[in-house]
Structure 1
Amino acid sequence: MQALEVCGVFLASSVRDAPPDRRAHHSFGLSDPEGFAAMGVVETLVHGEDLAQGLKRPWEPPSDLCARSLHRLFPDAPTDGEARPTLLWATGRGSLPGHDDRKDGWRWDARPAGER
């Protein structure tokens, strides 16, 4: 957990100190600081979920972080349900009632909104 906290500090300071028009490479395309912050949040949320399930520990990530990350990186994700299960569905980690089964080959879209 301490390593995750340190990585979070690095990400937060990098995003905070970067000009909003700065672009950086990601394997899914160029992103802005806001996109990199959202990617870091999603990585923490979904891998936290993975760890909790593997260790059989309770895990309830903040709903607002799930919702904001979905909005930023998965603009086509359904908005009519709870954010956590929708985020797990969008990242191929679960099913979502009323939608296609578990997603294979998912991708987020971290490009700035004005460049989509």
Structure 2
Amino acid sequence: MRDRVTADDLDLAVQLCVATLRQAPPHGWDRPAGSLEWDCWETAEHLSDDLFAYAVQLGPRTPPLDREVPFLFESRRPGGPTNTVFADRTAGPEGLTQVLEASGALLVAMVRTTPPEVRAHHVFGVSDPEGFAAMGAVETLVHTHDLAEGLGLVWTPPAGLCARVLARLFPDAPTDAEPWPALLWVTGRADLPGRARVTKWRWYGEPRD
């Protein structure tokens, strides 16, 4: 039996992310975030938006199963992320990390308070609160990796947390590799010996049990 992903797991991922980003120098947020086409500021906004979007998807008493809750999404520049959430740039990196932490807290609260039988839409499969916790954790773990590469930070999240989200969302993930390298591999961010680099990937949000 697999270990379930919990609101505490998501909260841990967000808090570790925020603590790491607060070590970044005040300059450099305009650098590319790892292999992404976005800069570090845009990537942190995108992560904030992911967490917010997952929280509000669980928000209606009867969540839609065939579409997202219709908040307006827009991009601030051609090729930039399409978000609802944007941070006030005059607040600087500290304000940006507060926006990220607040969005994460919204999803943590929704996962804690939404009955487990509730289902809501996601493009990778109608999911339950545990699934949305796992999705939020994966977004946080891998985008913090992108940000750490761009900002020159060290980022190695807990193996147990990585293992739980892999078991929930990536049923075909390799079991003969350490969880964090495996998570980077399944999301197309790293190589694993003896395996081709992943160029297209998805997770499977449907409830597993």
Unaligned regions of 5+ residues in structure 1, if any?
A: none
**2:111 aligned with 1:15:** yes
What is the TM-score normalised by the length of structure 1?
A: 0.92
Structure-1 residue corresponding to 2:202: 107
One-letter code of the match for 1:57? L
Query: d(CA) in 2 for partners of 1:50 and 1:113?
Result: 28
Per chain length, whose mean CA-contact separation is higher, i.e. which structure has more relative contact order (CA < 8 Å, sep 6+)? 2
Secondary structure at the residue paired with 1:29? Answer: coil
Structure 2 residue matching 1:46: 3-state secondary structure: helix
Counterpart amino acid of residue 206 in structure 2: R
Shift of residue 98, structure 1, vs aligned partner: 2.1
Aligned-residue sequence identity (percent) comes to: 61
Gaps of 5+ in 2: 1-96
**Letter of the aligned partner of 1:19 in structure 2?**
P
Structure with bigger gyration radius:
2
Q: Output the aligned Cα RMSD.
A: 1.0
Instruction: For residues 45-81 of structure 1, give each alpha carbon's deviation from its aligned partner in whole angstroms, at most 9, with x where no partner exists.
Output: 0000000001111111111111111111001101112
Are positions 1:2 and 2:62 aligned together?
Answer: no
Which residue identity lines up with residue 5 of structure 1 in the other structure?
E
Q: Classify the secondary structure of the residue corresponding to 2:121.
A: strand
Distance in 1, matches of 2:181 and 2:187, equals: 10
Matched, 1:50 2:175: no
Paired with 1:4 and 1:83, the residues of 2 have a C-alpha distance of 25
AA of the residue aligned to 2:207: P
Count of aligned pairs between the two proteins: 113
State the alpha-carbon separation in 1 of the partners of residues 136 and 149 from structure 2: 20
Alignment of 1:48-87 (within 5 A): 48-87=144-183
Counterparts of 1:4 and 1:68 in 2: how far apart (Å)? 22
